[in-house]
Amino acid sequence: MSTIKSSTTTTTAYSVEADTTGALVIQTGATPTTALTISSAQVVTLAQVLPEASGGMGTTTGYYGFKNRIINGAMVIDQRNAGASASLTSSQTYFVDRFFGVEDTDGTMTIQRSTTAPTGFINSLLMTTTSADASLGATQFCYVGQKIEGLNVADFAWGTASATTITVSFWVRSSLTGTFGGAIANNAFNRSYPFTYTISVANTFEQKTITIAGDTTGTWPTDNGGSIQLFFGLGVGSTYSGTAGAWAATGYISATGATSVIGTNGATFYITGVQLEKGSTATSFDYRPCGTELNLCLRYFWKSNAENAGKAGCINGSFNSTTTWSGFIQFPVPMRAQPTITRGGTNDNFYAPNVSGALTGNVVGFTYSTISAFTEFNSASPAAASVGYYASYNGQVSVNAEL
């Protein structure tokens, strides 16, 4: 290949070495090293990252249509609570879309979407300790996190010799300072990588970056089930805390010695801009259109329109007898898997335009797939409507296919 060299010394400031391969190499530096290669097929390869500010992608891994494998990392979508405060419990519960939390200590903690956020963001996820547990038992823990579907990380090739490096970045703020912890784990929770980060100034957003070499062993599913779990510890006992910076053949949630947010009454912890991407460089946050982000969330959970008594509801159908109604509901997007459906609210009843007042009775149940559901309703009022008459459900339904 032909080589063009540009050095920092006057004696070898510029030189050309020619050959007939058709390739071209450009080298720079005091001891010239390759900066750019153009093959005979005109394929250009850069030795270093082209910064985003210069029109590059900020990483050597290339552009992605789905750079950030975290969904709703900016905490904007909140179908379940719409910004209202809720309490963490000992069961894994989802709050803002795709993010869950668990609190299994002797303390208590609330969680909600917040409008306190760093520049460039409008929301964060806020956790507040309402009753402290300053002395955690070995098996106690409090954390928030997200599970990533295997289909969305199949290209990482984890569990093989070709496992790729990833970088996790996020913005965090707390009333506490010190060393905090988290972890990456597989769905089986028998492989994990604890990590630490430092919050230096109280009540100030700081961006953190953790680079993790991909796991070459373990089981990391690549189907529509769970694969990678990302945890942010808020107080984790010794059983689930491990040495930071190394893969372990067990399940950890945080790193040994990390600050316990649940250990201080009134302590706050905000997080937003969570990104998990391929490569060893943290790039700018992957801002997707709001509609795109919502549709990504809807694959896992959908809550129907707000209750609206006496008007068209989320399930519409007609009577096939004077007491039996059949209805159909189409999900906005195909669900990750066959979901579970719950219904309720203050208007947990049906409305028929030709009948005075709401219909009462019993929903027989749902028959559903990943794209739609069918249900039947037995009216408690004989001759409630004529065959073929329209009726709709007044309440709300929640369709859940979370990991």
Same structural domain, 388 and 314:
yes
**187 vs 144, 253, 287, 327, 403, CA distance in Å?**
15, 12, 27, 37, 10
Same structural domain, 269 and 387:
no
Indicate whether 56 belongs to any domain: no
366 pairs with which residues across the strands?
Answer: 375
For residue 216, the model assigns a pLDDT of 98
Indicate whether 55 belongs to any domain: no
Q: How many domains does the chain have?
A: 3
Indicate whether 53 belongs to any domain: no
For residue 310, the model assigns a pLDDT of 47
Indicate whether 58 belongs to any domain: no
User: Among 275, 277, 240, which residue's Cα sits nearest to residue 260?
Assistant: 240
Same structural domain, 254 and 314:
no
Same structural domain, 155 and 212:
yes
User: Among 372, 246, 284, 385, which residue's Cα sits nearest to residue 56?
Assistant: 284
Contact 180, 198 (CB under 8 A): yes
Same structural domain, 291 and 150:
yes
Same structural domain, 110 and 238:
yes
User: Among 126, 125, 144, which residue's Cα sits nearest to residue 72?
Assistant: 125
Examine the fold and report which residue of 298, 315, 348 is the final residue of a domain before the chain moves on: 298
Contact 45, 23 (CB under 8 A): no
For residue 318, the model assigns a pLDDT of 79
Q: Quote the CA–CA distance of 111 and 116 in Å, as a whole number.
A: 13
| Number of residues written out for the chain | 403
For residue 293, the model assigns a pLDDT of 98
337: its two tokens: 């898997």
Same structural domain, 102 and 208:
yes
Domain CATH code at residue 187? 2.60.120.260
Same structural domain, 281 and 328:
no
Same structural domain, 14 and 142:
no
Examine the fold and report which residue of 298, 330, 349 is the final residue of a domain before the chain moves on: 298
Return the beta strands (E) in 200-319 as ranges: 206-212, 226-236, 241-242, 254-255, 268-278, 301-303, 316-319
Indicate whether 35 belongs to any domain: yes
CB within 8 A of 112, min separation 6: which ones? Answer: 81, 83, 84, 85, 86, 95, 125, 126
Same structural domain, 271 and 374:
no
Indicate whether 62 belongs to any domain: no
Indicate whether 69 belongs to any domain: no
Examine the fold and report which residue of 279, 298, 317 is the final residue of a domain before the chain moves on: 298
For residue 123, the model assigns a pLDDT of 98
Q: Quote the CA–CA distance of 112 and 84 in Å, as a whole number.
A: 6
For residue 19, the model assigns a pLDDT of 73
Residue type, 144: V
Residue 385: give the domain boundaries: 301-400
Indicate whether 104 belongs to any domain: yes
Same structural domain, 198 and 344:
no
Same structural domain, 104 and 19:
no
The pLDDT profile of the chain, 403 residues, written as one tens digit per residue, is 566 666 666 555 666 776 778 888 888 877 888 887 888 888 787 777 666 555 555 655 555 579 999 999 999 999 999 999 999 999 999 999 999 999 999 999 999 999 999 999 999 999 999 999 999 999 999 999 999 999 999 999 999 999 999 999 999 999 999 999 999 999 999 999 999 999 999 999 999 999 999 999 999 999 999 999 999 999 999 999 999 999 999 999 999 999 999 999 999 999 999 999 999 999 999 999 999 999 999 999 999 876 554 455 678 787 777 777 788 888 999 999 999 998 876 667 667 766 655 566 666 677 878 999 888 777 655 445 567 777 777 778 899 999 9
